Copies of this chain bind each other. A is one copy, B any other.
Amino acid sequence: MQSPASIEKETNTAVAEPPSKHERRLYELWGAIRDLGSVQELLDWDQETHMPSRGAVSRSHVCGTVATLKHRAVTDDELWEVIEACAAEAPEGSLLAAQARVARRDAARARRIPEDLAKAKAIARSRGTMAWQKARAAADFSLFQSELQELLDLAKEEAAALDPDGNPYDALMDRFEPGATEEELVPLFDHLVAELTPMVRAVMDSGKEVDESPVQGFFDVTRQQELAKYAASAFGFDFEAGRLDTAIHPFCVGIAPDDVRLTWRWQEDDLRPALYGVLHEAGHGLYEQGLPADWHRTPLGNAVSLGVHESQSRLFENQVGRSRGFWTWLWPRFAELFPEQAAAGSVDRIWPALHTVKPSLIRVEADEGTYNLHVAIRFQIERALFRGDLQVADLPEAWNDAYGELLGTRPADDSEGVLQDIHWSQAIFGYFPTYTLGTMTSAQLFEAAERDLGPLEEAFAEGEIQPLLGWMREHVHRHGRRYEAGELIERATGEPRSPAALMTYLRRKTEAVYGLS
């Protein structure tokens, strides 16, 4: 793996030797903010993976205190003055100007949120996660309902504080995807749904079914983990600067570029959920590990947006992990770990089972063909919640109805319905649309990378992921937050964000698997 530090050597000298006392002070103050962010990441990771069940109450106090201190640090008057001073002295287009721009954005946003609200949210979030875990285990939404109500009320309060006259949902999305608005996204989702629904319908109506038996049966958990880590390592994920643990919900936290943690879960009767869960999170992890080390603890040192983050996870999960080339390379190891399945199968038999178009209930395990419909449901439901057209108590029903309508399938209980995602329990509203933005972007970036590098399938078949990773490092990872998400994608691909590449990619696969165009 290419070292981000070496790539950045030239452009980042300004950070290594800050030329002014304001800039130096900005990095000192920002360093502490980032450190508290790292603490929050660690607290979250620990709560999801290792914390004893009874530890939840005292943990919620700790989360409240850390959130308060971080909020105080970001809203600190001295920081604001230092940002202004940096902005004033920074030459246009310089790195420092970019540092000041994103620092001001974060500080201005935080300064609109009262400290008590920041703290209340952190406490509600910590309690909410525990309640959600219990409710999910019991498949009983009512065990989470009052916590969710509180989280939603706090989110509305936050949206009102951020933009008293604006659209609350926009104010919340802006945290994850700066600048995103309902106005822009609704037509985009409508367009995607309009294209995807007939495609899915056509597959259903054709009555054609893919043989999924090559990836079903019995897969030993330890061996599944071995295969997944082997593949993630081949992508370039560095397990000396990261790790993999078990959690209810697969996720990735970037405590620092040299401490990036993935989680996974598995099914013994299907290879796909664990393997593609890990490869998805490894894609996130590659972005985190590829962020410029020299900018760590400065405003530019983080990922630019969740949409861009998701483009990396979707790209490594799908464009790489589901490719025939990659499976050609993976096959010998797969055969070692699962000799019975290998004897009965082949890459050609497995490949279609990785490209089904088949309505299902769980988003993170959905196939590529239906994935964005899962996201569209959440987008629609969240918007209704924030418009006030939907009450918390009615969520399970609304969720199940939406699945029935858009995917033609209905959850049997809340654990495979409204309780499947962790986000709301963590006070995360307005995040879901970034999944589809990211999926679109992954297809665009892959197209652009192949334009630059030539077709990659053969390289994948040799286990050579490095050229693609290098391209992502160069065009995405190393820039941190230097450019706005839209600008970054346009610089990388030469075109604005659009669903065209994704639809081309999905149609091609669907044709190959189902013989439908």
**Which residues of A29-56 are within 8 A (CB) of B?**
31-32, 35-36, 38-39, 42-43, 46, 50-55
Q: In the complex, how many angstroms separate the beta carbon of A475 from the nearest chain B beta carbon?
A: 25
**In the complex, chain B residues whose CB is within 8 Å of the CB of A65:** 31-32, 35-36
Contact of A52 with B242 at beta-carbon distance under 8 Å, contacts A42-B42, A58-B258, A61-B35 already known:
yes
C-alpha gap A240/B242 in the complex (Å)? 27
Candidates B46, B54, B240; contact of A52 at CB < 8 Å: B240
Interface assignment of A117: CB less than 8 Å from any CB of chain B: no
Interface assignment of A506: CB less than 8 Å from any CB of chain B: no
**Which residues of A203-231 are within 8 A (CB) of B?**
none
Asked if B50 and A241 make an inter-chain contact with CB atoms under 8 angstroms apart, the answer reads no
**In the complex, chain B residues whose CB is within 8 Å of the CB of A66:** 35, 39
Please give the count of copies of this chain that the complex contains: 2
Interface assignment of A296: CB less than 8 Å from any CB of chain B: yes
Interface assignment of A175: CB less than 8 Å from any CB of chain B: no
Interface assignment of A156: CB less than 8 Å from any CB of chain B: no
Asked if A258 and B52 make an inter-chain contact with CB atoms under 8 angstroms apart, the answer reads yes
Interface assignment of A59: CB less than 8 Å from any CB of chain B: yes
Contact of A62 with B50 at beta-carbon distance under 8 Å, contacts A43-B42, A55-B255, A55-B258 already known:
no
**In the complex, chain B residues whose CB is within 8 Å of the CB of A296:** 58
Query: Which residue on chain B has the smallest CB distance to residue A297?
Result: B61
Interface assignment of A313: CB less than 8 Å from any CB of chain B: no
Asked if A58 and B240 make an inter-chain contact with CB atoms under 8 angstroms apart, the answer reads no
Asked if B256 and A58 make an inter-chain contact with CB atoms under 8 angstroms apart, the answer reads yes
Query: Which residue on chain B has the smallest CB distance to residue A61?
Result: B35
Asked if B69 and A259 make an inter-chain contact with CB atoms under 8 angstroms apart, the answer reads no
C-alpha gap A241/B52 in the complex (Å)? 5
Asked if B59 and A259 make an inter-chain contact with CB atoms under 8 angstroms apart, the answer reads yes
C-alpha gap A38/B65 in the complex (Å)? 11
C-alpha gap A243/B51 in the complex (Å)? 8
C-alpha gap A36/B62 in the complex (Å)? 7
Asked if A259 and B54 make an inter-chain contact with CB atoms under 8 angstroms apart, the answer reads yes
Query: Which residue on chain B has the smallest CB distance to residue A32?
Result: B65
Asked if B52 and A239 make an inter-chain contact with CB atoms under 8 angstroms apart, the answer reads yes
Interface assignment of A370: CB less than 8 Å from any CB of chain B: no
A-B contact pairs, 17 of them (CB 8 A): A32-B68, A39-B66, A42-B43, A42-B46, A52-B241, A52-B259, A52-B261, A54-B241, A54-B259, A55-B241, A55-B258, A55-B259, A57-B258, A58-B259, A58-B297, A59-B256, A59-B259
Give 7 closest A-B pairs by Cβ, nearest first. A55-B259, A58-B256, A35-B65, A54-B241, A54-B258, A35-B62, A32-B65
